Amino acid sequence: MSLLWKITIGFVAGIVFGFAVGPLVPGSPVLSEYVMPFLNMIGNVFLKLLKMLIVPLVFASLVAGAASLGDVKKLGRIGVKTLVLYMATTAVAIVIGLLMGNIINAGGGMNIPAGLQAATKEAKPLLEVIADIFPSNPLESMVQANMLQIIIFALFFGGACVMAGEKGRKVADFFENVAEVMYSVTHIVMSLAPYGIFALIALTAAKFGPSILAPFAKVIAAVYLGCIIHAALVYSGMIAVFCKRSPMWYFKGIQEAAITAFVTRSSAGVLPITLSNVRENFGVSEGISSFVLPLGATINMDGTALYQGVCALFVAQAFNIPLTFQMQLGIVVTATLASVGTAGVPGAGLIMLTMVLTSVGLPMEGVALVAGIDAVLDAARTVLNITGDAAVCAVVAASEGETLKGGPAASQA
Ligand code: ASP
């Protein structure tokens, strides 16, 4: 049986179990003194294992990601255009995610007390926040899991790997391999997810009863609506303005890759189809598509970023932690970088969510809340991830004077 099925079964079984035993807990010493504490222990171990992944995984994958940007300089104008579009669309995606999260307010009224981690950080003056982003001792940042400082150091380090030429290339390759190994460690930890998620969701369901079901449906609605809005406004807009083509031309051209992304939940896996769709249906040259799309599959994850915005807000709402404007700004910055460091494989965004939550001081238990429905969310965000790459690819091609294929021009339609 696939892990996805096991996680789904763990999630559903946990909810059913929790609903069933919840009302019995106060009157039953067996449940309250043995069963529930045991579930608590299992859940805690799972959360600790997730935390264990963050620092090495984020550092290694960001160094490798930053080093892969070395080609950007080589490609000059095209590289800069691609990068600017990728970053800008990602930032807009998170803002849409945060807006959807604020409007739909999926976690409102859940009032879950945060256990593992002291919640809110004190708000500091903005200038101090900016100064705090820079590490004075990178090892100390790692020991304290200070994500922003780790990210900054990783960007310096990855960039320097490019500057250091051949020797730097070797170091970057090493970190790429470390990232790969950390993804294998992630697989091991995720194989325990069905049990961890069963335990955590059973505890929550027992405590809160059926009132927790609606919030999950709302999170799914927020992510799907957000993805649709982002594609309809941002991508269609870019295609109309820069490529002078209709949204139909764009969505029809990329539909094969989009459907495959929805099913496989892996933008890296879909890359060959995205490449062929963009070349054959949009008429983008090989030169541009073979640079823009692989880079996008590695660093451009609008769907993942949007999802992180929605989920961070959901967790804050569920645990009743007020998010200041500064914290939301922090989410925009960390989620943009987290999406750069996210591998294009199923479920990678969930691991990076642990980093976003940690960096703004939100409780890690939130990850367990989201994990049970993550596959449903992953399908939508992967579609947005690859359609975003394709849109940027078409825009860059048009801006370089390439003639795109067919389709009614938006301005004439
Ligand atoms: N599955 C996504 C992708 O491949 C990454 C993620 O989990 O957010 O693009």
pLDDT at 21: 92
The token pair that represents 111 in the structure block = 């009032």
| Beta carbons within 8 Å of 78's beta carbon, 6+ residues apart | 288, 291, 292, 396, 400
> Within a domain: residue 410?
no
* Residue 120 clears pLDDT 50, i.e. is over it: no
Give the span between the Cα atoms of 301 and 155, in whole angstroms: 18
Of 314, 294, 402, nearest to 356 (Cα)? 314
Each residue's pLDDT tens digit, 325-378:
888 888 888 888 888 878 788 888 998 898 888 888 888 888 888 888 888 899
Percent of the chain with pLDDT over 90: 36
**Residue 291 is assigned to a structural domain of this protein:** yes
Residue 368 domain flag: yes
Q: Is 382 in the pocket of ligand 1 (CB under 6 A)?
A: yes
Q: Using 50, 70 and 90 to split pLDDT, how confident is the model at 411?
A: very low
> Best mutation site among 183, 262, 301 for ligand 1, i.e. most ligand atoms within 8 A of its Cβ?
301
Average pLDDT, the chain: 86
Sign of CA dihedral 183, 300, 65, 55: negative
8 in any annotated domain = yes
> Would you say residue 189 lies in a domain?
yes
What would the pLDDT profile of 29-85 be if each residue is shown by its tens digit?
888 889 999 999 998 898 888 778 878 887 887 788 778 766 556 567 788 888 899
Render pLDDT for 205-258 as a digit per residue (tens, 0 to 9): 888 788 778 888 999 999 999 999 999 999 999 999 999 999 999 999 998 889
For residue 270, the ligand 1 atom closest to its alpha carbon is 4
Atom 3 of ligand 1 has which residue's CA nearest to it? 344
Residue 199 covered by a domain = yes
Evaluate whether 395 touches 243 at the Cβ level (below 8 Å): yes
Ligand 1: residue of 304, 310, 340, 351 to mutate (most ligand atoms within 8 A of CB) is 304
CA separation for the pair 301, 307 (Å, rounded): 10
Q: Is there an atom of ligand 1 within 6 Å of 345 CB? A: yes
In a domain, 407, yes or no: no
Question: From the CA of 305, how far away is ligand 1's center (Å)?
Answer: 10
Q: Which atom of ligand 1 is nearest to the CA of 345?
A: 4
pLDDT at 409 over 80: no
Tokens in use for 257?
A: 């890759």
Is 80 exceeded by the pLDDT of residue 301?
Answer: yes
Plot region of 320 (φ>0 → left; ψ -120 to 50 → alpha; else → beta): left
Tokens of 260: 């495959």
pTM over the 0.85 mark: no
Query: Does residue 290 register a pLDDT over 90?
Result: no
Q: What is the CATH number of the domain that holds 71?
A: 1.10.3860.10
The predicted-structure confidence for 161-197, as pLDDT tens digits, reads as follows 888 889 999 999 999 899 889 878 888 887 888 898 8
From 265, 293, 383, give the residue whose CB has the most ligand 1 atoms within 8 Å, as the site to mutate.
Answer: 265
Q: How high is the pLDDT of residue 225?
A: 97
Instruction: Return the ligand 1 atom nearest residue 268 CA.
Output: 4
pLDDT score, position 240:
95
Give the total residue count for the chain.
Answer: 413
User: Which residue's CA lies nearest to atom 1 of ligand 1?
Assistant: 346
The pLDDT value recorded for residue 122 is 52
- In 278-324, which residue ranges form alpha helices assigned H by DSSP? 286-299, 302-318
Measured distance CA(15)–CA(265) in Å, rounded: 25
- The answer, yes or no, to whether residue 93 has pLDDT greater than 80, is yes
As given in the structure block, the two tokens for residue 47 are: 């959360």
Does 346 sit in the ligand 1 pocket, CB within 6 Å?
yes
Is position 52 within any domain? yes
* pLDDT score at 100: 94
Residue span of the structural domain in which 296 resides: 3-399
pLDDT of residue 412: 45
Query: What is the number of the ligand 1 atom nearest to the C-alpha of 301?
Result: 9
Task: Look at the chain and report how many structural domains it folds into.
Answer: 1
Query: Ligand 1 centre and the CA of 209: distance in Å?
Result: 31
